[in-house]
Amino acid sequence: MKKIIVLLTVVLLLWNNTSCQQDFLNKQPQDQFSDDAVWNDAALIQTFINNTYRGLGHGFNNVMFSTYSDESMAVWGPVVNVTKGLINSSDINDWAYDRAAYYVWDNVYKNIRACNLFFSKIETATTLDDATKKMYMGEEHFVRAYLYHNLVSVYGGVPIITQAYALNEDYAVPRNTYEECIKFIADECDKAAALLPLTQSAGNLGRATKGAALALKARTLLYAASDLYANPTWAAGYANTELIGYKGGERTARWKAAKDAAKAVMDLGVYSLNAPNPATIADASKNRADMFVSKQSSEDIHVRFFLAKLDNDGAWPGRSNGPNGYHNWGGNTPLGQLVDDYEMKDGTKFSWTNPAHAADPYVGRDSRLYADILFEGAQWRQRPADVIDKDPKGIIQVGYWEKWNAATSKMEVVAGLDTRKGPIEDWNGTYSGYYLKKFMDPAVDAQFFRSEVPWRFIRYTEILLNYAEACINLGEDVEAKKYLNMIRKRAAMPDITETGAALMKRYQNERRVEMAYEEQRFFDVRRWMIAPQVYSNGRGVEATYKLKDDKTTSAKPTYKIIEVQQRAWVDRNYFLPIKLDEINKNKKLIQNPGY
């Protein structure tokens, strides 16, 4: 079996055997396969499974999930209606774009149908031995659980469908309650874990494992235990709150279930923190940067691999996000809000109102800042051949230089190479004054070449964070800090010492920084119900090398905070609307509140 590096693009059309009998209609298309052909051919069965994995997508789309939260902004692409709270049941186009499309109702249900079809056919497949059949069933339980997790995370309770409907069947079904959906996902994960191996062989890397199934369960139960689902009082007047949260039950039990689920992954003994004992801040930063461009690490629980030589593989993170002064697109540029939340190296909060911080904002910070973010003056890779004469050292230039022109006796402002007004590519690039460094392989010239950096759906650090969060909510602060401080030690950061509400606040910031751009923040700010506070206008920073009185240019920039994007929050955005087309097709569906 082949490693899941790229999922084959063959479209498997599973025909009905009642098709027309005329010879000219019975010709077998060369790019399609009959029902019997698929389920009696081991290679085609595996191809079918590979395509269900494809339904999970990956995070390296041109518009990343970070842009839908307070992590980044897309410099192109129709996404602003999400961050302004303007999408509605007739127009969710911003959600149908790039990464978010994998969370859209009809798209996800198409992939769920494929999983259901698999379960209806696999028992009769005669070309597979029992061990392979069981592993495939475990994989499909995992994929189906992941698909439902994605749906429930953005819609709340959805119809639980476990059969593959055919044409002319009655598929009008109501939404299951949120509680029923969480139980279904957890049960699917348990079924998957019972059938899957602890690890996959080298040829099967990327396929689901027992750890992946248990980790997905841990994430699902953590989300479910959170504030958003406990008592949806924000949806005043909504008559069906069972669709968007729990009607009753004991929250302590839910937090205990989340804690136990995370601990089950930890107890497998398969995963560990990458480079847990750095000697210096510089070492910690390098270790983190290296991990996110490595093909494998000790943290990997579920990963999507890629092959750079395949043009249709769909991942080009360097070109999409690298600085435009390298002929890249700078597509998902970090917001100032994210950058400011990286602490000082002593664990204190960074603040622009602190004169020392404001004078040198990127000095003495959390090691993870230097691994994740490119800022004015940051060292990066060598410039492309046509730019290297302008910058032989590979220094990020998002600032502006005030220079005196003696010939005109006037001051001129020279834009840096990586600005939107620079001499390289002035039609794209950052508005915020930052670029993403995380996931960017410096050994690859992203203008021309794809990288083979994998997308990590789930990594071990998330499990430790999940465990710590559950412990905090159970009043087990000492246990929570034990694991939080392991993560901070790996970042060469001092221990967290707070307790109670202050500990929870520190935890939230730690998770924000540690998991930046890993598709957690969008859901975290909702389930913690802090979205109304964090969906403020997007901020950036403008660096200017001022002209001095002697008409020479300062060697150090002066920084100014700027607003780069209007944003707003409305409470209905805790959940997505079900598209009007879906409600018109299925009259038993109930819309989410506020739409």
pLDDT tens column, 90-101: 988 778 888 999
Per-residue confidence band for 37, with pLDDT thresholds at 50, 70 and 90: confident
Write out pLDDT tens, residues 504-521.
999 999 999 999 999 999
Residue 393 CB neighbour total at 10 angstroms: 9
Strand partners, 561: 541
DSSP state of 383: P
Closest CA to 85 of 526, 566, 570, 529: 570
Would you state the structure tokens that stand for residue 362, as one six-digit string?
A: 């990127």
Strand partners, 541: 561
DSSP state of 164: -
- Torsions phi, psi for 53 (to 5 deg): -60, -35
Per-residue confidence band for 5, with pLDDT thresholds at 50, 70 and 90: very low
H or E, element range at 457: strand 455-459
Interatomic CA distance for residues 158 and 148, integer angstroms: 8
Per-residue confidence band for 26, with pLDDT thresholds at 50, 70 and 90: low
Domains along the chain? 23-249 (1.25.40.390), 282-395+418-456 (no CATH)
Residues 70, 72, 76, 80, Cα dihedral to 10°: 0
Interatomic CA distance for residues 261 and 588, integer angstroms: 34
Residue 385 has pLDDT above 50, yes or no: yes
The lowest-confidence range among 5-19, 494-508, 516-530 is 5-19
Q: Which CA distances in Å does 286 have to 382, 391, 492, 537?
A: 18, 23, 11, 32
Would you state the structure tokens that stand for residue 454, as one six-digit string?
A: 């994998």
Residue 215 has pLDDT above 50, yes or no: yes
Per-residue confidence band for 19, with pLDDT thresholds at 50, 70 and 90: very low
Interatomic CA distance for residues 342 and 522, integer angstroms: 18
pLDDT at position 508, please?
A: 98
pLDDT (mean) for 36-60? 92
User: Do residues 425 and 179 make contact, with C-beta atoms less than 8 angstroms apart?
Assistant: no
pLDDT (mean) for 400-404? 98
pLDDT at position 307, please?
A: 86
pTM of the model: 0.93
pLDDT at position 432, please?
A: 97
H or E, element range at 405: strand 400-405
Would you state the structure tokens that stand for residue 255, as one six-digit string?
A: 């937090």
Interatomic CA distance for residues 125 and 586, integer angstroms: 33
Would you state the structure tokens that stand for residue 209, as one six-digit string?
A: 């494992």
Residue 13 has pLDDT above 60, yes or no: no
Write out pLDDT tens, residues 116-172.
999 999 988 889 999 999 999 999 999 999 999 999 999 999 999 999 988 888 889
Per-residue confidence band for 32, with pLDDT thresholds at 50, 70 and 90: low
pLDDT (mean) for 73-90? 85
Closest CA to 576 of 217, 93, 31: 93
Interatomic CA distance for residues 243 and 226, integer angstroms: 15
Would you state the structure tokens that stand for residue 390, as one six-digit string?
A: 């302008």
Interatomic CA distance for residues 552 and 402, integer angstroms: 9
Q: What percent of the chain lies above the pLDDT cut of 70? A: 93
Residue 66 has pLDDT above 70, yes or no: yes
Write out pLDDT tens, residues 343-381.
999 999 999 999 999 999 999 999 999 999 999 999 999
DSSP per position, 53-92: HHTT--S-SSS-GGGGTTSEEESSSS-HHHHTT--BTTB-
User: Do residues 450 and 306 make contact, with C-beta atoms less than 8 angstroms apart?
Assistant: yes
Per-residue confidence band for 23, with pLDDT thresholds at 50, 70 and 90: very low
Strands (DSSP E) contained in 189-312 are 300-304
User: Do residues 36 and 14 make contact, with C-beta atoms less than 8 angstroms apart?
Assistant: no
